[in-house]
Amino acid sequence: MIYSMTGYGEATREVGKKKYNIEVRSLNGKNTDIRFKSNTNLRDKELVLRKLITDMGLRGKFDVNLTISSEGEEDSQINQNVMDRYYKDLMAFAANKSIETGDILQTLIRLPNVVQLGDDKITDDEWGVIAAMAEEAMQKLNSFRKSEGQSLSADLQERVANIREALVAVDQFEETRISSIKERIRKNLNQHLGDEQVDQNRFEQEILFYLEKLDINEEKVRLSQHCTFFLEELAKEKIQKGKKLNFISQEMGREINTLGAKAQQSDIQQLVVRMKDELEKIKEQVLNTL
């Protein structure tokens, strides 16, 4: 089982006249990167919220949007200092890029920290609500990730199977490949030296030495082993495996490239191209694997 790094979770609560909403979106990333947007000041609670998201989300880029709204107008206010800074920056940018500002007020109102609750300090009761919502949103996000991961896993298994199929197909061209290489070398020698000037015993020795350098059995064995290792890792119960799968796919790429460089046979090289195409798709999917 694998988890996708792409996910979405949301939770809402209504307590008294206040409505609390939290949205969490995740994208792929090498490490954990959390960005907050909120119309209230989290202060010391932000570190606790970050830890909760990190512990439950493990890895990825997280966009967290927390809003608290109230039915009573007296409970909210506009932070004019923040709004003024946004206004100056937006107007300067619009003038520099020759962009029409339009209804800039509507844009300003939606920006973070412009509209705030009258008392922006989070009480212990409010924090209990926010913490419970954050946990619920992360559970939903992970459920989404798991569902997406099932599709990812099926696709990765199919890609690896296609590589294995192409690898098996290489065997049928091995005999003609060797004969073709030997014939090509002999033809070049005869063309430049003539058959009577070629020492046949020395020629056979050199052929054996040359073919040994072009032998692809080791590459085939290692590539097959890497495919098996990839599928075994994919089937493990642990959640975080994207980085390891990425390392294995890199090793698969090395063997495929070496096999293609040594092949010197058009049919095998066509199979190598097919394997490279499947591997590129594997790498794309692995980047989105937790």
pLDDT over 70 at 131, yes or no: yes
What digits encode the pLDDT tens for the residues 255-276? 999 888 887 777 888 899 999 9
Confirm if 32 and 60 have CB atoms less than 8 A apart.
Answer: yes
The whole-number pLDDT of residue 211 equals: 61
70 or 139: which leads in pLDDT: 139
pLDDT over 70 at 208, yes or no: no
Q: Does the global pTM surpass 0.95?
A: no
Which amino acid is it at 210?
Y
In the chain, what is the greatest distance between 2 CA atoms, to the nearest angstrom? 107
What digits encode the pLDDT tens for the residues 73-96? 445 567 777 778 888 887 888 777
The whole-number pLDDT of residue 201 equals: 64
Confirm if 28 and 5 have CB atoms less than 8 A apart.
Answer: yes
Structure tokens at 286: 């692995």
Q: Of 122, 124, 116, 9, give the one whose Cα is nearest residue 62.
A: 9
Confirm if 9 and 144 have CB atoms less than 8 A apart.
Answer: yes
- Tell me the pLDDT band of 193, cut-offs 50, 70 and 90: low
Confirm if 62 and 33 have CB atoms less than 8 A apart.
Answer: yes
What digits encode the pLDDT tens for the residues 12-66? 988 877 888 999 999 988 888 898 888 777 777 888 888 999 999 888 899 999 8
Which amino acid is it at 137?
A
The whole-number pLDDT of residue 237 equals: 84
Confirm if 264 and 177 have CB atoms less than 8 A apart.
Answer: yes
- Tell me the pLDDT band of 182, cut-offs 50, 70 and 90: low
- Burial of residue 82, with CB atoms counted within 10 A of its CB: 0-12 exposed, 13-18 middle, 19 or more buried: middle
The whole-number pLDDT of residue 24 equals: 93
